[in-house]
Amino acid sequence: MTTWAEKYRPRTLDEVVGNPTAVAELRRWAQSWGRGVPERRAVILQGDPGVGKTSAATALAGDMGWTVVEMNASDSRNADAIRKTALRGAVLQTFSRTGEFLRASSGGRKLILLDEADNVFGREDHGGIAAIVQMIQEARQPVVLIVNDYYGLTGRSTSFRRLCKTIKFQPVNASAMKNVLRNVAVKEGVDVAEDVLEVLVERSAGDLRSALNDLESIAVGNRELRGQDTQALGYRDRERTIFGALGEIFRSGDAGRARASVRDLDETPEDLILWVDHNLPYEYRDPEDLVRGYEALSRADRYLGRTRRRQAYGMWSYASEMLSAGVAVARRGRFGGGQLQFPGYLMQMSRSRAARTARNSLARKLGRHLHSSAALVRTEILADFLALYREDREFQERMTADLSLEDKEVAYLLDEKEDSHAVKHLLERAAKVKGAAPAAGAAGLHAYDEGDSDEA
């Protein structure tokens, strides 16, 4: 059964409710494809859930006569899925509605739509971000990335800001939302009182989709909706991103709002303090505001220190108070107003974590090969192994084959990116070595000698 939100989804850009500036920008970007492949082949549609980002993208395709190739990143979150579907679709000229790829002469352009693109990360999404960047770089077709958390995507790779145009969608205003709800109710034969519409709009916080879902849920079996009918709606927690919370802390000047933003946030104070610390000097330009802000931050840090030393997690509430309300009321002057940033420390830790994972995996494999512990390999063997691996082409090929090294381990040894040409080429050479000498692993590292090898 089709929901009302889907049933009344806009079919053209003129039907998109709210955000006229964003819609106009999106239309101009699409029209630039009529003059060939533009410099920015992809656009990021940024905004909270339910503000019309995906609807605008599909409506754009309808206006332009483009077929849509859609992927949801939260369902197909890995590099292979993106490469097979989105990358292939972005590079090839066009495809049929049945999914068969066609030559340009057989059809028009298509829109590559990657929804929830900010969800392509984590252990199960190995290589997904790199695959999206590659897709954009090689695209011969328009690409749209839909994100709720802009920095959740761009914080993973700076390439997105360089390669993509960014268009921000704002929450739908109350008046426009009320008109949509009223019109849908009329079409569905439901008489809705004005106070019901006001409750639905207020609860939605600019999310038109959730307002339509709420309207539909209380209209089931009812032809008339009055104030008491809204009591059937349970309270819906609205997900708040870290950047939304930071915006309240730095820019609201309201202790209550800042405190509430942290309370609804799925972040520990130990993580939040890194975000606040990184963005504070960019947001508070007045030296006195900075002093007061860092005093609050310092107090939060002391509470966190006591938490760690004494295992007294009740101190977290005091740290959260200083990080939110304390920092918020520290500002007396104007705030910076720039883009909030992903902490460099967290980004470096993310990268170093990947390197440590590759190192530990390599140590385990080498330890099994040498009948030694992984700890011994890391402390006494790995440094010499790494130096020899980088200097000796034949040793590279033999060890990559014998140890069945994966791309992440080879990338660690070569100090290259996993998708680099050097890593791919070495893995291909090692596969040939392994195919030519399947028993080579029996001799392994102990038997390796430059004069004994038959491999070039």
Q: For residue 184, what is the domain's CATH number?
A: 1.10.8.60
How much of the chain is helix, strand and coil, in % rounded to 5? 60, 10, 30
pLDDT at 450 over 50: no
d(CA 374, CA 372): 7
**According to the model, what pLDDT value does residue 346 have?**
63
* Structural tokens at position 113: 């739509």
Specify if 74 maps to a domain.
yes
Among 394, 384, 398, residue whose Cα is nearest residue 437: 398
d(CA 300, CA 320): 7
Same domain, residue pair 253 and 332:
yes
* Structural tokens at position 296: 């609050």
Q: How many domains does the chain have?
A: 4
pLDDT, one tens digit per residue, over 174-185 is 999 999 999 999
Q: How confident is the model at residue 82 (pLDDT cuts 50, 70, 90)?
A: low
Same domain, residue pair 196 and 143:
no
Sign of CA dihedral 307, 313, 316, 318: negative
**According to the model, what pLDDT value does residue 451 have?**
42
CB-CB contact of 395 with 453 (8 Å) = no
CB-CB contact of 19 with 51 (8 Å) = yes
d(CA 424, CA 418): 8
The mean pLDDT of 116-126, rounded to a whole number, is 58
d(CA 380, CA 81): 40
**According to the model, what pLDDT value does residue 86 have?**
58
pLDDT at 443 over 90: no
323 burial via Cβ count (<10 Å: 0-12, 13-18, 19+): buried
d(CA 172, CA 210): 12
Query: CATH code at 255?
Result: 1.20.272
Same domain, residue pair 215 and 358:
no
Q: CB within 8 A of 34, min separation 6: which ones?
A: none
**According to the model, what pLDDT value does residue 68 have?**
87
| Cα 163 to Cα 24, 41, 72, 116, 397, distances in angstroms | 20, 7, 21, 18, 36
Same domain, residue pair 350 and 337:
no
**According to the model, what pLDDT value does residue 293 have?**
95
d(CA 112, CA 141): 7
**According to the model, what pLDDT value does residue 63 have?**
93
The mean pLDDT of 69-85, rounded to a whole number, is 61
Query: Residue 331, Cα to own-chain centre: how many angstroms?
Result: 31
**Domain end marker among 306, 325, 342:** 342
Q: How confident is the model at residue 74 (pLDDT cuts 50, 70, 90)?
A: low
pLDDT, one tens digit per residue, over 414-430 is 888 887 888 999 999 99
Q: 204-213, 379-388, 442-451: which has the minimum mean pLDDT?
A: 442-451
Start-to-end C-alpha separation, the chain: 64
Same domain, residue pair 15 and 136:
yes
234 burial via Cβ count (<10 Å: 0-12, 13-18, 19+): exposed
Q: How confident is the model at residue 135 (pLDDT cuts 50, 70, 90)?
A: confident
d(CA 424, CA 402): 17
**Domain end marker among 282, 307, 342:** 342
Q: What's the maximum distance between 2 C-alpha atoms anywhere in the chain? A: 90
Predicted TM-score (pTM) of this structure: 0.52
d(CA 67, CA 108): 8
Specify if 237 maps to a domain.
no
Can you give the residue range of the structural domain that contains 294?
Answer: 242-342
- 78 vs 167: which has the higher pLDDT: 167
